[in-house]
C-alpha cells in the first residue's frame, strides 16, 4: 500500500508532533505526582540506584558477593513496600508514573522493524483523504449523483433511455468502490464531455480511500508533465513511482494531452506496468474506442480495450445544461 512521498512526509510530521506532545504530557503528569509526594520521588530514585548497585555487586571480583547482594535486595524490597504503601494511601495509580508511548506497538516510531505500523498508516490515510478533498472539491459522492439530468426518453440508437443506462453505470461504480480489492478489474470510462465521468471517478476515489487503500487521482496532463520533469528536468522519480505502485490509480481526461512519442511512451509505462502488476486502474476519456485505436499505438489500444472493462457514459452535457438553467 504505497503512499506518495508528500502524504508520508506529512503523516510522519504529525506522528512526531504527537509523540513529542505525549512525552510532554508524561513529564507533566509524573512531575505533578512527585510534587504532591516528594517521598515517592526519593524512593523511585533510590530504587533505580539500588538496582544498579545489585548488578555491580553481582559482578564483583574477589570474595563472595552474595552477602552484599542479599543486603541490597532487602533494601530494595523495603523501599518497594514503602512505595506500595504510599501509592495505596494516596490513591495513586502506579501506571501514572510510567511513560505512556503514543503507540504501544511501535513506541511512536511509526515502524515495527521494516513494516509500517498501523498508527502511521492511519495518519497516511487521513492525509491522503485531505489531499483528495483538495483535488476533487468535496462534493462528489454516489448519493449526490443526480440521474434526473439524463433524458428519460428512449434513444433508438441506444435501445434504452440514457437515464436507464446511467442508472446501471451508477450501480456498477458504487459496487466497484464498495467492494474494492486489489483484484478489482480496471475500468475505462468513455463518453462525451460533461456526462459524469469525473464525478463518478471522484466518488470512487473517496470511497476506496476511506476503506484504507492508497489512491492516486490525477489528470493525464499532470501525469505526463511529471514524467517529463523526471526525464528532462531532473525531477525525483519517486513522484512518478506512485502512479505504478498505488493500490488504485484514477487518471482523468485521457486524450486531452498533446500526443507525442514521449507521452505515448509514458502512457504505455503506466498502463502496462499496472496490468503486469495486477493493480487496478480507472481511466476516463472523451475518446471513442475507434478514436483510441487511431490516437494510440496498437499495444496501448490493445491493453485499454482488451484489459479494461468498458463503461460507456451517455446523455447530454450536464455542465452545459446547468449553465443554460442559470
48, part of any domain: yes
pLDDT tens digits for range 66-122 = 776 777 788 888 888 989 999 888 888 888 888 888 999 999 999 998 889 989 988
117, part of any domain: no
Co-location of 73 and 35 in the same domain? yes
Co-location of 204 and 252 in the same domain? yes
pLDDT tens digits for range 8-56 = 888 999 999 999 999 999 999 999 999 999 999 998 888 887 766 666 6
List C-alpha distances in Å: 189 to 130, 154, 214, 319: 25, 22, 21, 18
pLDDT tens digits for range 243-289 = 988 999 999 999 998 889 999 999 999 999 999 999 999 999 999 99
Whether 233 shows a pLDDT value over 60: the answer reads yes
Contact 196, 139 (CB under 8 A): no
Contact 283, 243 (CB under 8 A): no
In this predicted model, which residue has the larger pLDDT, 221 or 238? 221
Helices (H) and strands (E) in the chain, counts: 12, 7
The span from the CA of 143 to the CA of 31, in Å, is 52
> Which of 112, 147, 170 is the C-terminal boundary of a domain?
112
254: Cβ contacts below 8 Å, ≥ 6 apart: 220, 267, 283, 284, 285, 287
Co-location of 317 and 176 in the same domain? yes
Whether 184 shows a pLDDT value over 70: the answer reads yes
72: Cβ contacts below 8 Å, ≥ 6 apart: 50, 53, 54, 57
Please report, for the domain that includes residue 178, its CATH number.
3.40.50.300
Amino acid at each position: 500500500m504505497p503512499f506518495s512521498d508528500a502524504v508520508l512526509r506529512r503523516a510522519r510530521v504529525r506522528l512526531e508532533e504527537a509523540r513529542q506532545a505525549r512525552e510532554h504530557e508524561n513529564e507533566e503528569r509524573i512531575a505533578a505526582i512527585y510534587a504532591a509526594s516528594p517521598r515517592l520521588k526519593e524512593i523511585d530514585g533510590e530504587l533505580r540506584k539500588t538496582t544498579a548497585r545489585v548488578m555491580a555487586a553481582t559482578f564483583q571480583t574477589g570474595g563472595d558477593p552474595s552477602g552484599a547482594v542479599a543486603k541490597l535486595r532487602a533494601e530494595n524490597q523495603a523501599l518497594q513496600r514503602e512505595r506500595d504503601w504510599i501509592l495505596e494511601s494516596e490513591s495513586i495509580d502506579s501506571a501514572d508514573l510510567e511513560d505512556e508511548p503514543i503507540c504501544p506497538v511501535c513506541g511512536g516510531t511509526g515502524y515495527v522493524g521494516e513494516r509500517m505500523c498501523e498508527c502511521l498508516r492511519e495518519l497516511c490515510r487521513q492525509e491522503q483523504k485531505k489531499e483528495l478533498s483538495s483535488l476533487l472539491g468535496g462534493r462528489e459522492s454516489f448519493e449526490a449523483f443526480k440521474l434526473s439530468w439524463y433524458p428519460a426518453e428512449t434513444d433508438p440508437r441506444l435501445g434504452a433511455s440514457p437515464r436507464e443506462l446511467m442508472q446501471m453505470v451508477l450501480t456498477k461504480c458504487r459496487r466497484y468502490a464498495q467492494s474494492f480489492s486489489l483484484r478489482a478489474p480496471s475500468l475505462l470510462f468513455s463518453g462525451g464531455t460533461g456526462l459524469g465521468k469525473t464525478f463518478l471517478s471522484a466518488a470512487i476515489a473517496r470511497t476506496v480511500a476511506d476503506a484504507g487503500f492508497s489512491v492516486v487521482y490525477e489528470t493525464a496532463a499532470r501525469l505526463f508533465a511529471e514524467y517529463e520533469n523526471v526525464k528532462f528536468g531532473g525531477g525525483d522519480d519517486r513522484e512518478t513511482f506512485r502512479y505504478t505502485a498505488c493500490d488504485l490509480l484514477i487518471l482523468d481526461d485521457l486524450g486531452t494531452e498533446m500526443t507525442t512519442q514521449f507521452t505515448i511512451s509514458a502512457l504505455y509505462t503506466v498502463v502496462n506496468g499496472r496490468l503486469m502488476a495486477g493493480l487496478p486502474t480507472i481511466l476516463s476519456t472523451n475518446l471513442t474506442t475507434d478514436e483510441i485505436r487511431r490516437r494510440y499505438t496498437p499495444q496501448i489500444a490493445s491493453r485499454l480495450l482488451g484489459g479494461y472493462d468498458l463503461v460507456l457514459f451517455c446523455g447530454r452535457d450536464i455542465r452545459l445544461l446547468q449553465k443554460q438553467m442559470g
